[in-house]
């Protein structure tokens, strides 16, 4: 028992220490102008990232996804991806200032929006719907944009493993993005209630999921969470892809695409496995277009134990 308490105390101290370092770094960034701080974070992570164990995982992921590319080409993507991770962290500090889209003055701010009419239709004609995205660019801006348009979506998110960082991130997101549902055993019921009440739900669909359905991603076997497909089948609701793209000069383009038609089986029901594959195909198309803007460091193919 004493050994267990010591181990737990050390783990708690480790998480607290890491959180304090992270919070201290982000707080220090607030001193500087947004552009300078974001650019600095990009350069810093390009230097730090390759020195971590995750860089090896990133290289394996890139070889699996782009076997036709040379090692030099994949390394360029890897370094740029680390830079985008640094940008994502720094952008958290300035998130309130970054979203400056004005429908009356499109193209004049940092953020441009494609599919404004889709936003407005979902807001002005309430009905159950699901918006899905992937870990591309600053995906956090999507629910911020929805809230700015008066379209509040219940967002499913996976809390960080560090409990101190998780609490801080949850509070930060809640103030800017509306209703949040941490992913756990009962999260599907919370999302189902939202759809049942005629509301909207937002989900990330490119995360590793141990018990998912068997699908392909970049031509490699991967398991995909069937939650979106099951919710869509239960409530027969509309489903929309959305993504964020980083543009030069610390600018962004947010896109909500037209409604997707989900595949159905011979009984006329939404096909869960085929829908999961459709989601993967959509995210893959996004990643192929801007490969450096996806988070390659995470173990999407569950290969960490083999390298």
What's the Cα-to-Cα distance from 186 to each of 190, 227, 276, rounded to whole Å?
A: 7, 12, 21
pLDDT digits (tens, 9 = 90+) for 54-86: 999 999 999 999 999 999 999 999 999 999 999
Which residue has better confidence, 122 or 8?
122
Confidence of residue 104 (pLDDT cuts 50, 70, 90): low
Enter the tokens of residue 180.
């949040």
**How far apart are the C-alpha atoms of 21 and 75, rounded to whole Å?**
28
User: Does residue 302 lie in a domain region?
Assistant: no
Determine the pLDDT at residue 191: 84
Same domain, 21 and 151: no
Confidence of residue 33 (pLDDT cuts 50, 70, 90): confident
| Residue-range definition of the domain harbouring residue 10 | 2-93
Same domain, 146 and 274: yes
Do 105 and 73 lie in one domain? The reply is no
Q: Give the model confidence (pLDDT) of 276-287 as tens digits.
A: 999 999 999 999
Q: Are 179 and 193 in contact (CB under 8 A)?
A: no
Chain centroid offset of residue 173 CA: 13
Give the tens place of pLDDT for each residue, 175-190: 555 666 666 656 778 8
Residue located via tokens 């940008």 = 87
Domain count, the chain: 2
Among 13-17, 76-80, 209-213, which stretch is predicted with the lowest mean pLDDT?
Answer: 13-17
Same domain, residue pair 285 and 215: yes
Tell me: do 88 and 105 sit in the same domain.
no
Residue 129 pLDDT class (50, 70, 90 cuts): very high
């Amino acid at each position: 028992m004493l050994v267990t308490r010591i181990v737990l105390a050390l783990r708690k101290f480790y998480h607290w220490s890491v959180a304090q370092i992270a919070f201290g770094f982000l707080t220090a960034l607030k001193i500087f102008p947004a552009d300078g701080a974001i650019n600095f974070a990009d350069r810093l992570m390009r230097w730090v990232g390759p020195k971590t164990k995750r860089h090896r995982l990133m290289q394996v992921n890139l070889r699996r996804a782009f076997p036709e590319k040379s090692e030099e080409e994949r390394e360029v993507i890897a370094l740029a991806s680390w830079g985008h991770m640094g940008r994502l962290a720094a952008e958290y500090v300035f998130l309130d200032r970054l979203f400056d889209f004005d429908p009356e003055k499109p193209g004049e701010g940092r953020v441009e929006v494609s599919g404004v009419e889709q936003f407005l239709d979902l807001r002005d004609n309430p009905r159950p719907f699901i918006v899905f995205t992937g870990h591309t660019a600053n995906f956090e801006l999507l629910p911020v944009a929805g809230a700015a348009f008066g379209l509040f979506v219940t967002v499913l998110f996976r809390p960080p493993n560090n409990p101190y960082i998780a609490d801080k991130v949850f509070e930060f997101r809640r103030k800017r993005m509306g209703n949040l549902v941490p992913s756990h055993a009962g999260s599907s019921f919370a999302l189902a209630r939202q759809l049942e009440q005629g509301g909207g739900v937002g989900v990330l669909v490119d995360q590793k999921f141990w018990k998912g359905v068997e699908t392909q991603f970049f031509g490699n076997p991967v398991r995909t969470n069937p939650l979106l497909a099951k919710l869509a089948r239960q409530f027969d609701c509309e489903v929309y892809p959305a993504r964020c793209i980083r543009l030069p000069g610390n600018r962004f383009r947010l896109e909500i695409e037209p409604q997707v038609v989900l595949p159905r089986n011979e009984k006329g029901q939404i096909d869960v496995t085929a829908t999961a594959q459709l989601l993967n195909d959509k995210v893959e198309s996004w990643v192929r277009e801007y490969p450096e803007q996806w988070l390659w460091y995470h173990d999407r193919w569950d290969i960490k134990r083999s390298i």
